[in-house]
Structure 1
């Protein structure tokens, strides 16, 4: 689930392929980030990259919802 508690109620009412694809991309990115965080040795560059990717997807969802 996205870390967007302020708009979760809006997300429930929005359907569409675009939003579904964003959710899928976010889920994959979070799963990868979790794996990178538990690996030893840690690959900080990948962790930083995927943290940024998750934030970017969250921003995309916010923009998408604002346009609805």
Structure 2
């Protein structure tokens, strides 16, 4: 079995999506796309946090990154559901 290091993105998603926390942790070690999505999520969350430090001038980008984060969360949930089948 290959050991995959736990990423910040995975940890954030496990907190954000507690209903699939256990599955996500298992699937993360087996599915490269899930690992890629958790990395993308971490990048998007970090960017969003930076943009939120100056919300007045960054409203459009903040909305865009909020949407990106939500889309990644939805894709993670779909991928975990697909593993159950």
TM bin, normalised by shorter chain, reads: over 0.9
Q: Which residue of 1 is the match for residue 54 of structure 2?
A: 39
How many residues end up aligned between the 2 structures?
A: 68
Q: Which residue of 1 is the match for residue 17 of structure 2?
A: 4
In the TM superposition, structure 1's runs of 4+ consecutive aligned residues that sit over 6 Å from their partners are: none
**Where in structure 2 are the equivalents of 1:1-68 lying within 5 Å?**
1-2=12-13, 3-14=16-27, 15-39=30-54, 41-68=56-83
C-alpha displacement of 1:12: 1.5
Which whole-Å CA distance do the structure 1 matches of 2:26 and 2:39 have between them?
18
Structure 1: which 5+ residue stretches go unaligned? none
Question: What TM-score does the superposition give when structure 1 sets the normalisation length?
Answer: 0.92
- Flag the structure with more relative contact order, 1 or 2, with Cα contacts below 8 A and sequence separation at least 6: 1
Which whole-Å CA distance do the structure 2 matches of 1:65 and 1:40 have between them?
33
Q: Which residue of 1 is the match for residue 7 of structure 2?
A: none
Question: What TM-score does the superposition give when structure 2 sets the normalisation length?
Answer: 0.75
44 and 9 in structure 1: CA distance in 2 versus 1, 3 angstrom threshold? same
Structure 2: which 5+ residue stretches go unaligned? 1-11
DSSP 3-state at the match of 1:39: coil
